[in-house]
Structure 1
Amino acid sequence: MDILLILTILIVICALAFDFINGFHDTANAIATSVSTKALKPRHAIILAAVMNFVGAMTFTGVAKTITKDIVDPYTLENGSVVILAALLAAIAWNLITWYYGIPSSSSHAIIGAIAGAAIAAAGFAALNYKGFIKIIEALILSPIIAFVLGFILYSIVKLIFKDSNLAKTNKQFRRVQIITAALQSYTHGTNDAQKAMGIITMALITANLHTSANDIPTWVQFACATAMGLGTSIGGWK
């Protein structure tokens, strides 16, 4: 069997493993609040997160396209399959270490940094697509800052509106809303994080001359990554 084909198969397996690990690594982000307030039982929360992760992953492919072409150019990357495989193994190792020790960590930061690092090691800094890479880094840096500001504003508004409301009755109503927010957060997690592996597999297929367009994510890739994310969420969410 051709060595390039073997590497591509290994990349697909590792990318799906990364998505699976990402699923149970990040489950708590979506359901922790709804479980801690007893809005949902843990079993129901995990099932909800798994289903919504799958649905979200099947809805969009924009992030996958960005991963495919905006970090490095898969058409010009020499030894691209080796670079991608090394990046996946590094990101998987980091996710497992942080999950085992209960350290909050971003799978997105892990895989994007791993791809960039592996590409630089293989071909120098010129291998990076700086315009796209900077755009991704800006989003990674700005997202927690924007979330902090919006969270502060929204909480201040809610506190002002409900300051004279009955505490027990208000908490009961808020628990119902938390079910919706948990579902939405799981959905958006699927639309974002599951697509990292989609982009990586598509990049590997292009490198191996098995796919032609970075703007076209194969349907089987999307379905496989969505399934891996959903299964990871359902199995690993208990920890």
Structure 2
Amino acid sequence: MWGITDAELQALTVSLTVAGVGLLVSMPLALLTGWALARWQFWGKTALDIIVHLPLVMPPVALGYLLLLALGPRGPIGEPLQSWFGINLAFSWSGAVIVAAVSGFPLAVRAIRISAENVEERLLQAARTLGQSPFGAFATIALPLMVPGVVAGGVLAFARALGEFGATITFAASIPGETRTLPLALYTFLQMPGGEQAALRVLILSVTVAVAALVASEYLVRRSARQR
């Protein structure tokens, strides 16, 4: 009953690596986007805001199909990648990472945007008065103040990626050891005769990972708050 099988460990490993790499890929852009939406005024800001948050309101299967249309072998981006560089994103581990990055991106941006809005402008002006460049003022003043929001956004994005199902199965499929994450493994076991025990173990693994992420987030946020 409680012995974890190789297939379940594979699903856990794939989930953690896909969500982790997706987070690393998306966080720099999420940081830039959140800061831009909070502090900059530019043409098309409303459109950018809508596009950023679209994955939150789209059905996951629709998001996966949209990625398939754009990045698939016949898509406007996927076809040149495959014909010129031999890169195939659909139905691959890289495709699962893209789904993880895209699905968690809006949550990271929202948390970062809120923390950026709370950075006082006078602090940045004082830093620039003392000779700091705009990037230097951001790196030395704003970013340390935004750490709790950045951490919270990262954990939310990571957790969202861990729970992604519809877009992953549509764009990356359910390939054992490559794209079969915990939600896909849970679905697979539920479709198998006598797979209830395996499904229960996968469920326990999923809840354990989610709780561990939340506990780590709370610890990091409190630690950064004490150091300020």
Q: Same fold (TM over 0.5)?
A: no
Give TM-score, length-normalised by structure 2: 0.38
Higher RCO (CA 8 Å, separation ≥ 6 residues): 1
